[in-house]
């Protein structure tokens, strides 16, 4: 073997450690396959190049570990909204402090918030070492209790060895464990070259029983809170939706139980309950994979490489929108299924060619980010923020989609026709579509004007070189500003989306700030006082923090290797960052009272880079 992949090489040492987490029975032959997979990664093939992974079917992903984390989702059943003020009111300093309700925390800006107990992580299989992607659930209550423990191990401690050596009675279960006592093993240590950062082994915090698997190359998971007036399952149930690129589909999973950190959390997607199943009893069934228009195999297939999903949870018309990497279609899902006909599942109801770049080849088409404009107007005067005319149609909110290969965005709306006197909604495949008054009431996508240019830094590229231009997008709390990540050159761009005299958004460029090269993902951290934009820099391993009011960089934090998607935790005043290439999650403090604000303070998972 070469110096890169020999038995004493850095790659093989990484592989050897990962093998300790692999299912029982994997021997040296499996390790050899892993080395081959790593060789493909270092060569830049990433499983899609010739010969990489074709002869190795891989093995089931670990149920209790991180692997190429590609998405983070805080428990969607726990509201991120403030539950009221707390502490001492500056206007009445002599009054006793206001206490938060049991289970809530008082944040730095004196707001009571409920901390979520679970962080759902999407694991990808980007090097095809594993035969599936997966969802794993991390118990944040246990993690934060461990970080705060006075039993954190010193620098350079071999946590793996210590954890394996600990007797079962010493396994960490948090301070709420009735058997907890000082000296019980805590799977965390201080980082050798960054003693202010605490890193923890992830396995003790993962609820393995809840892990489920799906197809290859999944993207970030999003959620729909199903607890509405018109669609009311269990009081603690939400639906998770994951775009799966390798097998073009949207896989959906029902999440229930586990509120407050209890171990009865369930992720249900029709997986087999047989532990002897070839996939370990964790693979989602076909009924939970949305692949065809109207769930009909005779209809069109979902466009290739679904990439990002946005849920618009309007109680009367919950919809999801999907962009595609490498395809100009925009896809629409009705989350409650069909009102007439259908099989009771969520359904793909429309695919529209709305993101096409005229004159560009098939390889340079596609979208990236999606964002819903808050209160997009109230054309019917009913105060609900949507422009529905009850006599004719339900018109959805204004959705913006960024175009990957040009500096433009496309606004769209979903329109669902309503029957009026003498009209009847019928199934799309009714045998009598020409009956008097019959109409199809499924929502359909319509463009709102033409794509508009978002501005940004000027392009300085060889005309023969095509590079992705735009990435993620997000709105400010008012909806009057749209923030767009420009990948090449790297910038965060502001677009003025305030309403003009005609009641429509202006959609004009309004400034930009230069950041790192090839940024990708964006989240807005809004604590009610200040809005910050956090942008991940995949190549440099950094997170830029931008004050959105002044559009200036106010912080720069190191993350892991290959940082991408993020999740905002307002209750704990942190942002979690998925580090794809070293299988960790960085924790960045956003608390104004923390001396380490805007920097990494903790890490879930031990840093084991796939590429260095």
pLDDT in tens, 581-609: 999 999 999 999 999 999 999 999 998 76
Q: 578 — phi, psi (to 5°)?
A: -80, 115
Q: In terms of Cα–Cα distance, which of 291, 269, 300 is closest to 282?
A: 269
- Residue 487 · residue 519 · CB < 8 Å: yes
Contact 267, 236 (CB under 8 A): no
**Winning range, highest mean pLDDT, from 10-14, 319-323, 393-397:** 319-323
Cis bond upstream, residue 489 (ω within 30) = yes
Checking if the pLDDT of 241 tops 80, the result is yes
pLDDT over 70 (residue 145): yes
pLDDT band at residue 182 under the 50/70/90 scheme: very low
Model confidence over 107-134: pLDDT tens digits? Answer: 999 999 999 999 999 999 888 888 899 9
Given this model, what pLDDT does residue 180 score?
40
Q: From residue 605, how far is each of 166, 188, 310, 434 by CA, in Å?
A: 18, 9, 28, 60
Ordered by start, the domain boundaries in the chain are 1-59
Q: Is 302's pLDDT higher than 90?
A: yes
Give 567's pLDDT tier (boundaries 50, 70, 90): very high
Higher-confidence position of 21 and 467: 467
Taking residues 244-259, report their average pLDDT.
Answer: 94
Higher pLDDT, 608 or 578: 578
pLDDT in tens, 367-381: 999 999 997 444 433
pLDDT band at 162; cut points 50, 70, 90: confident
Rounded to an integer, the average pLDDT of 292-305 is 93
CA distance 35 to 56: 11
Question: How do strand 249-256 and strand 194-200 relate by DSSP bridges?
Answer: unpaired
Which of 41-45, 220-224, 281-285, 309-313 is predicted least confidently?
41-45
State the distance between the two ends of the chain, measured CA to CA, in whole angstroms.
20
Contact 257, 236 (CB under 8 A): yes
Three-class secondary structure of residue 206 per DSSP? strand
Residue 525, H or E segment: strand 519-526
- The pLDDT confidence band at residue 20, using thresholds 50, 70 and 90, is very low
Lowest mean pLDDT segment, chosen from 156-160, 364-368, 525-529? 156-160
Mean pLDDT of the chain: 82
* Burial category of 422 from C-beta neighbours within 10 Å (exposed 0-12, middle 13-18, buried 19 and up): exposed
186: exposed, middle or buried (C-beta count within 10 Å: 0-12, 13-18, 19+)?
buried
Q: What is the pLDDT of residues 400-429, one digit of tens each?
A: 999 999 999 999 999 887 777 777 777 655
For range 434-438, the mean pLDDT: 71
User: Which three-class secondary structure string do you get for 10-79?
Assistant: HHHHHHHHHHHHCCCCCCHHHHHHHHHHHHHHHCCCCCCCCCCCCCCCCECCCCCCCCCEEEEEECCCCC
Q: Which two tokens stand for residue 63?
A: 């149920």
Query: How far is Cα 113 from Cα 82, in angstroms, rounded to an integer?
Result: 5
Helix 10-21 with 28-42: angle, nearest 10 deg: 130
> According to the 3-state scheme, what is the secondary structure of 146-198?
HHHCCCCECCCCCHHHHHHHCCHHHCCCCCCCCCCCCCCCCCEEEECCEEEEE
Given a cut of 90, whether residue 204 has pLDDT beyond it is no
- Angstrom CA distances, 423 to 105, 403, 428, 435, 437, stand at 53, 38, 15, 10, 4
Q: In whole angstroms, what is the distance from residue 542 CA to residue 561 CA?
A: 9
| Buried-exposed string 555-583: b where 16+ CB fall within 10 A, e elsewhere | bebebbbbbbbbbbbbbbbbbbbbbbbbb
Structure tokens given for 226: 């199903």
Confidence grade of residue 95 (pLDDT, cut at 50, 70, 90): confident
**DSSP output for 104-129:** -EE-TTSBEEPPPSEEEEEEP-TTSS
Q: Say what the pLDDT of residue 494 is.
A: 98
pLDDT for position 17: 46
pLDDT at residue 448 tops 70? yes
599: three-class secondary structure by DSSP: coil
Mean pLDDT value of segment 299-308: 94
Ranges 141-145, 175-179, 297-301, 543-547, most confident: 543-547
**56-59: long-range pairs with CB below 8 Å, 24+:** 56/128, 57/131, 58/33, 58/125, 58/128, 58/129, 58/130, 58/131, 59/22, 59/23, 59/26, 59/30, 59/130, 59/131
H or E segment at 225?
strand 222-225
Question: What count of residues does the chain have?
Answer: 612
- Quick check: 161 and 147 in contact, CB under 8 A? no
């Amino acid at each position: 073997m070469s110096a890169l992949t020999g038995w004493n090489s850095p790659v093989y040492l990484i592989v050897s450690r990962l093998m300790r987490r692999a299912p029982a029975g994997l021997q040296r032959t499996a390790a050899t396959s892993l080395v081959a997979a790593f060789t493909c990664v270092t060569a830049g093939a990433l499983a899609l190049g010739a010969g990489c992974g074709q002869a190795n079917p891989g093995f089931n992903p670990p149920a209790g570990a991180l692997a190429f984390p590609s998405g983070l989702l805080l428990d969607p059943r726990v509201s991120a909204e403030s539950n009221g003020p707390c502490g001492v009111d500056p206007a009445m300093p002599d009054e006793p402090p206001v206490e938060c309700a049991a289970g809530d925390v008082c944040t730095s800006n004196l707001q009571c918030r409920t901390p979520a107990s679970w962080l759902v992580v999407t694991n990808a299989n980007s090097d095809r070492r594993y035969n599936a992607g997966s969802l794993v659930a991390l118990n944040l209550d246990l993690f934060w209790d461990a970080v705060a423990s006075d039993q954190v191990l010193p620098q350079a401690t071999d946590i793996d060895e210590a954890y394996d050596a600990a007797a079962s009675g010493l396994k960490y279960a948090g301070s709420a464990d009735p058997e907890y006592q000082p000296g019980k093993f805590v799977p965390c240590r201080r980082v050798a070259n960054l003693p202010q950062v605490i890193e923890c082994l992830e396995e003790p915090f993962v609820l393995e029983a809840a892990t489920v698997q799906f197809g290859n190359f999944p993207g970030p998971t999003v959620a729909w809170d199903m607890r509405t007036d018109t669609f009311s399952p269990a009081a603690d149930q939400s639906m998770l939706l994951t775009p799966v690129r390798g097998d073009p589909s949207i896989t959906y999973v029902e999440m229930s139980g586990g509120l407050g950190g209890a171990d009865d959390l369930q992720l249900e997607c029709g997986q087999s309950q047989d532990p002897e199943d070839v996939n370990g009893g964790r693979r989602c069934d076909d009924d939970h994979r949305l692949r065809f228009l109207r769930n009909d195999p005779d209809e069109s297939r979902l466009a290739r490489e679904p990439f990002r999903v946005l849920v618009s949870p309007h109680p009367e018309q919950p919809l999801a929108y999907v962009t595609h990497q490498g395809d100009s279609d925009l896809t629409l899902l009705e989350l409650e299924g069909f009102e007439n006909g259908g099989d009771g599942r969520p359904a793909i109801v429309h695919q529209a060619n709305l993101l096409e770049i005229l004159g560009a080849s098939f390889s340079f088409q596609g979208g990236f980010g999606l964002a819903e404009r808050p209160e997009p107007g109230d054309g019917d005067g009913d105060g609900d923020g949507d422009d529905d005319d009850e006599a004719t149609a339900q018109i959805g909110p204004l959705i913006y989609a960024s175009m990957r290969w040009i500096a433009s965005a496309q606004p769209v709306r979903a329109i669902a026709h309503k029957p009026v006197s003498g009209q009847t909604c019928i199934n799309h495949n009714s045998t009598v579509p020409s009956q008097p008054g019959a109409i199809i009431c499924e929502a359909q996508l319509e463009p709102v004007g033409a794509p508009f240019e978002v501005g940004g830094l000027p392009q300085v590229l060889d005309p023969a070189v095509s590079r992705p231009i735009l990435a993620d997008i997000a709105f400010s709390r008012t909806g009057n500003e749209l923030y767009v990540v420009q990948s090449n050159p790297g910038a965060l761009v502001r677009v003025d989306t305030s309403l003009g005299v005609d009641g429509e958004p202006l959609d004009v460029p309004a400034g930009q700030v230069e950041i790192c090269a090839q940024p990708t993902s964006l989240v807005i951290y809004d604590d009610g006082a200040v809005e910050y934009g956090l942008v991940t820099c995949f190549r440099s391993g950094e997170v830029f923090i931008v004050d959105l009011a002044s559009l200036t960089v106010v912080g720069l934090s190191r993350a892991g290797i290959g940082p991408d998607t993020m999740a905002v935790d307002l209750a704990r005043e942190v942002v979690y960052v998925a580090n794809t290439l070293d299988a960790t999650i960085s924790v960045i403090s956003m608390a104004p009272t923390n001396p380490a604000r805007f920097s990494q303070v903790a890490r879930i998972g031990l840093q084991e880079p796939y590429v260095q």
